[in-house]
Amino acid sequence: MIKADILPPTIITETAISLSKLYFSTKAGTLRCLYEFGLKYAKVLPQYSFSVKQWRESADSCLSGIERSFGKASLLIVRSSAIGEDGQNKSNAGAYLSLTNVQFDQLDHGIEKVIASYDNHHCESHHRKNHSCDNQVLVQPMLKNVIRSGVAFSHDPKTASPYHIYNWSDGEDTTMVTGGGVGHTWQSAACSSVPPPREIAQVCSLVDELTNLFQQPIDIEFAVSRTETGGEQVWLLQARPLVMPKRVESERTQTDRIQLISEKISQGMKPHPFLKGKSTIYGIMPDWNPAEIIGIRPKPLSLSLYKEVITDSIWAYQRHNYGYRNLRSFPLLIDYFGLPYIDVRVSFNSFIPAGLSDSLAEKLVDYYIEKLMGEPRHHDKVEFEIVHSCYTFDLHDRIQELKDFGFRHTDLDDLVNSLKGLTNRIIDPHKGLWKKDAAKLDSLKQRRARLAASDLDTIERIYWLLEDVKRYGTLPFAGLARAGFMAVQILRSLVAVGVLADRDFDCFMGSLHTVSGQLSRDRFTLGKNQFLAKYGHLRPGTYDILSPRYDETPDAYFDWSQKAHRSSDSPVFSLTLDQMKTIFRLMDTHDLSHDVVGLFDFIKSGIELREWSKFEFTRSISDVLQLIKHYGQLLDISEEDMAFCDISAFGKIFSSSIEPRKLLLNEIEQGKTRYEETMRTALPPLITRPEDAWSFYWPESTPSFITGKTVLASTETEVNPSQINGKIVFIPNADPGYDWLFTYPIAGLITAWGGMNSHMAIRAGELGIPAVIGSGQPLFHKWSHAKKICLYCAEGRVEIIA
């Protein structure tokens, strides 16, 4: 008879145990060692394990041993324990099969299925290290009364920083998280003094215990069961080395950096003499949403360029022009070691009409911030769900909640009257500032052409393109973007008061003439050269020098042999006579001083011009990046290195006689150092207290669902033109540089970042493509790992099919 018993972890010695340092073996060997060693903060289930060779030579002996250990009545879990699994250089996590809730009379079948997942059932070639005959099968009793389970890392597996990351779900299913469920995610710096959530406090202690025992980064699976006395018991289900691509960062280095961030946050949250509101919070998506535009970890050139042309000063200058409070000299975006955040107090101050009293402005900013803290899922929809920044037909209903927060009737009247006056001035078909802003775009095009035809050198062109794009590009775009947001809010309010139906809203959005729709049509009506002359400046990352333009790698974006795919004609929107009369009466009742036709002209123009103005100013941004790339070539500096420059370096070169290559190489060296720190740093999407720099939950976002359609399709995350037809495509942000996607018959679109009024949201609505915009990282990760999903846009949900 072949002896099949719990295999001893042969590489673990008594000497190693006595020195309180353990070594990883197979899954079965490591768990056996920890079972015998005895952990302080968790228990390990008993096990019975055997090799494939032992099973092949005497399956009956193995089954008899399992019966002696656990009996026939117990439900069992049959787990893989392969030689190539849980290794120091590769974990192969999830590569092999494990089966739960296996009854004893089905055990042999379950064992065979696990062995089959090793891909080799034979016993020749014994010299092979990963030969399947040396692989093991691990059998344990199923854990009962499970109330939560999950996984934990001692380090961030992407950055090798000492962040403890815990992902768990509530309930009996111990495979929920490892199988792709979202659950809860808590991240904490190794030296954080912030107490962890009660649900995982003992798991945190377990991670520390195991890290000390193995003296290296670890990855564990755990479960928590309810005891007979009503208490909780933590179980260690698996422990393996955490394989990471980078050198592990020291806890001291991380602590010093986080301390600086925490102190900066604390200082920024104090009262400011020139700002209303007692304190602030910081977010990656409110207002000029950097997560959508430049990403959550942009390289230094992208970050500094975005600050230069929009968030340092342009944003405030134009918002003041449109009738809001003067926030000039306040930068909207700050960064914590390169992670970009919007100062929400500054943003909310800028949405207050200039004519409101200081006392009411103070109350409003505090109220808006408190509301966002209570409803953080709206951090990417603050203009729609948090602040009142324009007059709408449902404003009176929406502001009633302010009464519950100490606002008086006179406060509400003052707010309504201020917003009404501001809105009437903006939507004026003759004097509205948006008309003048639209005209400035022609000046941008003319001046750009004159620069291109001039004899100015590369640095001079960079300087003047940047100056022009601020004055004639992003400045009018900031105004037209404000008009576009107001247009959508007014249109939505007509749905809210029952004048328009949801289908009317969708029909109106589908009837718009936007860049995306024109690009899709031009793709099949213009020749390749004509098409690229018009759209070649676009790139998926508007501010990213490393993102190729359409005209740099056109074949990577477009299949030029592709025939035009069938698409339904754009819907024709028109108001019925009754709707016209109702809106006319509403405008008279609400004292909106323009006619119905003028109002809808503003709504249509506001949304369309927002898109077209971005199309124009991004051409200048793209040209700047091309010139920077060219300048690097002249100095024998790669574009990869130029991505680490700060945009201010080119201003220094323009205005001084400094040696440019020396300056740029110094900038690049500093930029690389800073970016390494950027990659090692983690912060939550919304920072509400200084302690969030140390520990925080990763929240689920509330995505925006576009169209009311339902679509079931396979997923595509590689964004390869040859593979996206008929697929639901995943992209990180709602950048218009992804417009090329709409020249293909994709089934749907999902973005991690982006708001309900983002460019991709508008374009998907125009083209009638089902889309989920701004899903947030947890949901994006979950859905993108599915093979097939169904979007129920009308119901606002996504279902994983396979």
CA distance 361 to 276: 7
SS (H, E, C) 629-648: HHHHHHCCCCHHHHCCCCCH
557-581 core/surface letters (b: 16 or more CB in 10 A; e: else): bbeeeeeeeeeeebeebebeeebee
CA distance 475 to 472: 6
Return all residues near 342 (Cβ < 8 A) that are at least 6 apart. 282, 283, 284, 285, 286, 287, 288, 289, 290, 332, 333
Question: Measured on CA atoms in the order 751, 757, 762, 765, is the torsion positive or negative?
Answer: positive
Sheet holding 686-687, edge to edge: 333-336, 339-343, 282-283, 686-687
First to last CA, the chain: 44
DSSP states of 507-527 as a string?
HHHHT---HHHHHHHHHHHS-
Do the bridges between strand 282-283 and strand 686-687 make them parallel or antiparallel, or are there none, so unpaired? antiparallel
The catalytic residue among 121, 537, 759, 781 is 759
CA distance 175 to 101: 12
Distances from the Cα of 178 to the Cα of 30, 173, 210, 219, 223, angstroms? 19, 10, 20, 12, 12
Strand, coil or helix: what is 186? strand
Number of H helices, E strands in the chain: 29, 22
Determine the residue type at 436.
K
Question: Measured on CA atoms in the order 753, 758, 763, 766, is the torsion positive or negative?
Answer: positive
Asked about 759 being catalytic, the answer comes back as yes
Residue with the two structure tokens 């950055």:
159
- Tell me which residue of 392, 398, 394, 423 sits closest to 490, measured CA to CA: 392
Determine the residue type at 172.
E
Q: What is the dihedral of CA 687, 692, 698, 702, to 10 degrees?
A: -20
SS3 content of the chain, % helix, strand, coil (to 5): 45, 15, 40
CA distance 117 to 52: 12
CA distance 253 to 157: 17
Residue with the two structure tokens 């939507």:
427
DSSP states of 720-748 as a string?
-TTT-TTSEEEESS--GGGGGGGGS--SE
Contact 772, 729 (CB under 8 A): no
Strand, coil or helix: what is 695? strand
Q: Where are the alpha helices (DSSP H) in 215-289?
A: 251-268
Beta-bridge partner residues of 772: 705, 750
Question: Measured on CA atoms in the order 139, 143, 149, 154, is the torsion positive or negative?
Answer: negative
Strand, coil or helix: what is 668? helix
Tell me which residues are annotated as active site.
759
